[in-house]
Structure 1
């Protein structure tokens, strides 16, 4: 199986199906990415909050790629198997005026530099003196494919084709499904996070450079994937993992409604439930999650269904 590589310099700042691909791969092949952090290298381990006013905001949230996947056509689905996510030995979290769910209340610049050398132990200290540490679960905040529409679309918000989905569950062992709108899919990845809570409420996670490895496979039999879907592996509180559908849009209630609608469709297609049965199951077993609520104009809401309720699913 061929393994391809994307370098740090092979990046772009918009989702645009006219951007030439940096690689062409066959369906089922593996690609590794060497990504800078979301500041595009402007923030370093020695940085302080005094640096933040001089940042070039138009250079933030770059993504590496795009990758042209042979045989991928509009209407297909791109399966992205997340094989590895390894952060750097440092990261940062910032507060920027105008960003975050409480942007009107937090108007001063702030920056925290993290020591991630304890990554192999599974945590980083938030405040060692106070005994506060944060579990590390690295993932890429940006994973997506190009829109079928002409033009350049900002990498800041999430879209139905992925993008800045900022979803902490899409980590090593997870499979992401993206609806393809452009020939070749034109997949890109970036915005490494060492850890993040659902919602990313202040607008940043533990931002970090990232080495990522994914396998890209074209699926011809999932026409119901209209927004990002993903399947997680097991965890302590979710032993067999979950399947998640999402809703994406500028109205948070409509995004939540779409997430449920897409789960109802999934349950009908994959588990043979009629719409009434599926709606009931969503209510008694599904969890609505605010995955991304700060990168306007779009919200990303997920409906997660535990695989453990299906006795015939491994």
Structure 2
């Protein structure tokens, strides 16, 4: 096993989406660990306070090559990372070992036409929010005495697909813009592999976010992380699943919340059938009794997200993924 360090530079990031045509910026073996840097705020850097800007980030914003601009999404992603021996049909296990903001400020933006209430809040608004990293909180609004505990995670964890380019905005079977706040340090995400090498990319750091992410953004934050990438040829998946220290998580992405819920529920039933040997009907009943379905996000058009959380504590035997 090897440890790698992947800095975010204009040679190692890409903007706006995923593409299997991008050259890998790092090659790893299964089980290798990567300390990875990510930046956010490509389209707002010219309005940002000095503490939001680093020389490397400014270089990215001012000199990113056209071939690194994949699609129209707003996200800067670090990668792609090529995983040796990964082939379509395999699963990539992403272990989130550590996640921490790299700068003491993030931003929140309201974008016209986006969000859960686009007709009510239709004027653009951009707020830079100070992060108290020593006390692990953000006070919002400033001076209000409302102190929000920071719970950092990466909004985007995904692999490339056979399409030439795919925008970074909607999530899907490849992962991408999942925006699931449960995927904090100590969690694992399992992604189906679609192209040789998997071509994994990461970014869209969030210091804190509520379920739903209703105004389009969280506290968007440049974020550093430590991840371990493990190739799994012993399991097959068609959609991402995740595991936290307390729960198994299945996900559903659809154009409506009803559709997303149905998919998350069916994915949980399939999981219970495969990993606990329950009948479909018993799995369905168990979902009604013990699984909590939550709105992941409602703003990554055209896909809304719902995730189901299955508490591991209810099982007398461990579920091994």
Q: Name the residue aligned to 2:19.
A: 16
How far apart are residue 6 of structure 1 and its match? Answer: 2.1
How far apart are residue 276 of structure 1 and its match? Answer: 0.7
Between the aligned partners of 2:194 and 2:259, the Cα distance in structure 1 is 22
Q: Name the residue aligned to 1:212.
A: 225
Alignment of 1:1-314 (within 5 A): 1-9=1-9, 10-13=12-15, 14-39=17-42, 42=45, 43-45=47-49, 58=72, 60-87=74-101, 88-116=103-131, 118-127=132-141, 129-147=143-161, 149-223=162-236, 225-233=237-245, 241-313=246-318
Using structure 2 for the length normalisation, give the TM-score.
0.88
How far apart are residue 121 of structure 1 and its match? Answer: 2.0
How far apart are residue 263 of structure 1 and its match? Answer: 0.8
Aligned partner of residue 272 in structure 2, secondary structure: helix
Between the aligned partners of 1:7 and 1:61, the Cα distance in structure 2 is 17
Conservation of the 8 A alpha-carbon contact between 2:73 and 2:167: no
Aligned residues: 298
Conservation of the 8 A alpha-carbon contact between 1:39 and 1:59: no
How far apart are residue 59 of structure 1 and its match? Answer: 6.7
Aligned partner of residue 263 in structure 1, secondary structure: helix
Between the aligned partners of 1:245 and 1:306, the Cα distance in structure 2 is 12
How far apart are residue 300 of structure 1 and its match? Answer: 1.8
How far apart are residue 127 of structure 1 and its match? Answer: 3.2
Give the alignment's Cα RMSD to 1 decimal: 2.1
Conservation of the 8 A alpha-carbon contact between 1:227 and 1:248: no
How far apart are residue 165 of structure 1 and its match? Answer: 0.6
Between the aligned partners of 2:312 and 2:285, the Cα distance in structure 1 is 16
How far apart are residue 11 of structure 1 and its match? Answer: 1.2
Between the aligned partners of 1:216 and 1:83, the Cα distance in structure 2 is 11
Gaps of at least 5 residues in structure 2 are 52-68
Between the aligned partners of 1:274 and 1:221, the Cα distance in structure 2 is 22
C-alpha deviations, 1:41-98, integer Å up to 9, x for none?
6252359xxxxxxxx9947212110001012111111110001111021111111111
Q: Hey, which bits of structure 1, 4+ residues long, moved more than 6 A?
A: none
Relative distance call for 1:174 and 1:38 in structure 2 (3 A) is farther
How far apart are residue 256 of structure 1 and its match? Answer: 1.1
How far apart are residue 129 of structure 1 and its match? Answer: 3.5
How far apart are residue 286 of structure 1 and its match? Answer: 0.5
Q: Name the residue aligned to 1:236.
A: none
